Amino acid sequence: MPTQSKDTARLVGLALNIGWQIAIPLVVCALAGRMIDRVWHTTPLFFLMGVIISLLLSSWLVVRIVSRVITATADTHTDIKTDKQ
């Protein structure tokens, strides 16, 4: 497989991973908050709390993924520079 195809596949995989890291907590927390609001008649308190919690959780997950990618990329570039010298 050509290098460009591998890079494209990795980027698509990374984008899908980040997308899931955002979507799943949002759906789960929002639905959980909505169900709690229905039971306790507190609309929209727990729904909004669920959305806020999901935003915080998703942000943490995305930052963790991006920092790993940056670290891996920095290591790769360091190896390339070292090989040329």
**Would you write out the chain's pLDDT as a tens digit for each of its 85 residues?**
677 888 899 999 999 999 999 999 999 999 999 999 999 999 999 999 999 999 999 999 999 999 999 998 887 766 555 555 5
pLDDT reported for residue 40: 98
pLDDT reported for residue 32: 98
The total of other beta-carbon atoms located within 10 Å of residue 55's CB is: 14
pLDDT reported for residue 4: 83
Q: Supply the pTM of this predicted model.
A: 0.80
Task: Please compute Rg for the chain using Cα positions.
Answer: 20
* DSSP conformational letter for 85: -
Do residues 34 and 49 lie in contact, with contact meaning Cβ atoms separated by under 8 Å? no
Q: What is the distance between the alpha carbons of residues 52 and 44, in angstroms, rounded to a whole number?
A: 12
* DSSP conformational letter for 44: T
Which amino acid type is present at position 29? Answer: C
Report helix angle 45-84 to 3-40, nearest 10: 160
Do residues 33 and 49 lie in contact, with contact meaning Cβ atoms separated by under 8 Å? yes
pLDDT reported for residue 83: 54
